[in-house]
A and B are shown apart, each in its own frame.
Chain A
């Protein structure tokens, strides 16, 4: 297998670390060769808190992936999340020189640079700046301005940035292994690449990736990213709530959440109980099912409501036509789509990565959406690098992060 075709996505999640190995085919399709994973330790809310432990876990996951896919992994695309990641929309502007009125590629480059010249907090670094639309002399919604006539070229960008040191921590953790870091990608952006089709992006969609430690979201309208962000609340919080509410250990709480949990209220028989068994099968405490569901429901409802308030700060949510797409480990919770639909008052779906060949069992698990999305993202960027004309793929810039 030629190493040049290999792409590896690495997601350092709060509950697990997951490595997906894929291969790009000459016809442009992507095939998944193997998936490696390891339980994560030393990561809280999407950020590394214990460097040594986290590194060991990443190593385990990478070794696992190498064994399963039978390849050597040299470089990876890394997904990042964490409450520090923020985003905003900005517009860049370039006035063409008087003697020329046809827009060329250089102007497009200039406008990109111009749009990035905004102030973000000093400790922050840019992660992505994603082109939304160009405007030529006030004409809206231009997708490719090259060759058009005009005097003023403007471009709207969606800019995602985060705290530099925290992103660097993640990179360092991988580099120490040692593995090459090809790129760092905001995890919701990666997930959206495989969860949504181009059609859904055009219709407008909100992708919500609820992982162990964070809830990442990204909102597409008219095929362009309009809003994105991270809430530092995730499945861990639900587990913690259960553990505290029912007074059981975290590990049990986690187990009962995944096996029995649901966020639908009023659906179980009054007095219905779940018997907690420990590993040896010894029957322990009995808990009421409704209590468990209430705890989960309250937390998730709050998370969605918070997310809704965040998203509603700008008007874009009103133009979402395809609905909400929930992915990530927490999306496996029973009834989560109903709850999201109820809170947002629009259709909500639980989805996983689409349109990929290879290991379907991996593809169909929403826990792997981000890692698989990294492959798709990488593929898109790699196509972009040789510059086959102007594509609307993400304009990248990276300042002194690697």
Chain B
């Protein structure tokens, strides 16, 4: 007889972190970079790239690359993207060297100026050529900075969109909203930097943190897929008694979130909940249920959760999404590809192998459906085997031995495609049941004079009148 220890658990999986580099292009970019560093970032290298030597010298980044030694002579570009572009071309080798060895590169740039608009696309290009995955964080200028800068920014954004795997775009105007009207302009810019820093860190954490339900690149891209769309990003952290609620509220307060109102229009929402060992299942459930009120029924929620000892008492929520623009509708009609590969048996095995995972899976209300593979596959061939493997139907086997980190998400896809619909039907059935069994009655007030206000008999319980299911 074989005795199994009840305390059986997976050996701590200490996979080596994915090499990540964060590049700040231009002075806005290096400001954001400084902020990332100040806020504490130990999981990636920071590189400042600029034409302006002065600004470069004041940056606290560990590694610095000066662009266009001969064409700008250490000065700025004077707001000319063309000059920024040439400077970047001139220093292409240096940039390449700096970017070497990273599997994932974040580019922070303030678009609208010379270096940011001109050089950022080149940096992105070089990074892609080096086989890295590129996510760009771009800020669009304040509207008071003038139309010219706005057009330059839009052009640069369009180029970045073509090159980078994903672009998260922050509109400075929107961020200005969260600054008190009396606050100085430096504060307004500071808020922009802070938001960028927050999102860089949370995305890094998202990918680096050992997750019970892991969120991978492909999930991230699914959430950010609607190109040219507006990125929604929210991050909240709390250690109060009601931390699940507080963290979510905070995340929804983010200026890019518009109090969660925007979420209702999103087609994909990526949520990661991270907390210390004290995080409970019910907290996650409360949080997800609350979030569920902000999204529509058919929105895909890509859910991930991670336990990190460093979090202590805190619980953090990261919400990433992009607004469903027209092209997401175009991308929608492709549910066919997941069909060919049936649920691979290893998926079940692996889920069993990781004890905490199965319960979590049960509570995820609407697990993700990966439409991403095809749309991102082209971008990823060079470097991302898992996503590429998913995209091509005859390759279910490689998906099994894919790197340990992305245990669940990719594997669930085929299964989930089928799951996603039945729950909905069940829900509707349940609703009908309730409507049937409760005759409209006024109970105790049966014989008294009815209280009729605005055409409603208020003696009838509210939940009956509003058809809200309570049970």
Contacts and interface: CB of A to CB of B under 8 A. Distances in A.
A244 B458 contact: no
B334 interface: no
B21 interface: no
Contact of A44 (B282, B290, B448, B466): B448
Contact of A244 (B242, B286, B449, B461): B461
A270 B292 CA distance: 15
Given A237-B459, A240-B443, A240-B461, A267 B448 contact: no
Contacts of A239: 444
Interface string B280-292: 0010011001100
A240 B289 contact: no
A306 B245 CA distance: 27
Interface in A50-86: 83
Nearest to B453: A306
Contact of B286 (A45, A241, A270, A306): A270
Contacts of B463: 241, 245, 294-295, 298-299
Interface in A204-237: 231-233, 236-237
A232 B458 contact: yes
Contact of B468 (A244, A288, A298): A298
A400 interface: no
B463 to A, nearest CB: 5
A240 B286 contact: no
A45 B451 contact: yes
Given A45-B451, A270-B285, A299 B461 contact: yes
A273 interface: no
Interface string B441-458: 111110011010110001
B462 A298 contact: yes
Interface in B403-456: 438, 441-445, 448-449, 451, 453-454
Contacts of A386: none
Contacts of B462: 241, 295, 298-299, 301-302
A288 B471 CA distance: 8
A250 interface: yes
A266 interface: yes
B441 A266 contact: no
Of listed B242, B289, B290, B444, residue having the most chain A CB within 10 A: B444
B336 interface: no
B445 A295 contact: no
Interface string A295-321: 100110110001000000000000000
Contacts of A295: 461-463, 470
Contact of B448 (A45, A250, A294, A299): A45
Contacts of A299: 461-463
A294 B441 contact: no
B464 interface: yes
Contacts of A236: 444-445
Given A266-B286, A270-B285, A291-B470, A244 B451 contact: no
Contacts of A294: 463, 468, 470
Nearest to A236: B444
B242 to A, nearest CB: 7
Contact of A270 (B282, B438, B466, B471): B282
Interface in A254-305: 266-267, 269-270, 288, 291, 294-295, 298-299, 301-302
A298 B449 CA distance: 22
Contacts of B285: 270
A49 interface: yes
B223 to A, nearest CB: 25
Interface string B213-247: 00000000000000000000000000000100100
A16 B453 CA distance: 26
A246 B464 CA distance: 12
Interface string A126-150: 0000000000000000000000000
A239 B443 CA distance: 10
A246 B471 CA distance: 8
A243 interface: yes
Interface in A163-208: none
Of listed B285, B290, B451, B454, residue having the most chain A CB within 10 A: B451
A299 B466 CA distance: 10
A244 B466 contact: no
Interface in B225-283: 242, 245, 282
A233 B451 contact: yes
A237 B458 contact: yes
A298 B471 CA distance: 14
Contacts of B443: 240, 243-244, 250
A269 B443 CA distance: 30
Nearest to B438: A244
A245 B286 CA distance: 23
Interface in B163-178: none
Contacts of B464: 244
A27 to B, nearest CB: 45
9 contacts: A233-B451, A236-B445, A240-B445, A243-B444, A266-B245, A266-B289, A270-B289, A294-B470, A295-B461
Given A299-B462, A306-B454, 10 more contacts: A83-B449, A232-B451, A232-B458, A237-B459, A240-B445, A240-B459, A245-B470, A266-B245, A295-B461, A298-B466
Instruction: Report, nearest first, the 9 A-B pairs whose CB atoms are least far apart.
Output: A241-B461, A232-B451, A298-B462, A44-B448, A240-B443, A299-B462, A240-B444, A269-B282, A302-B462
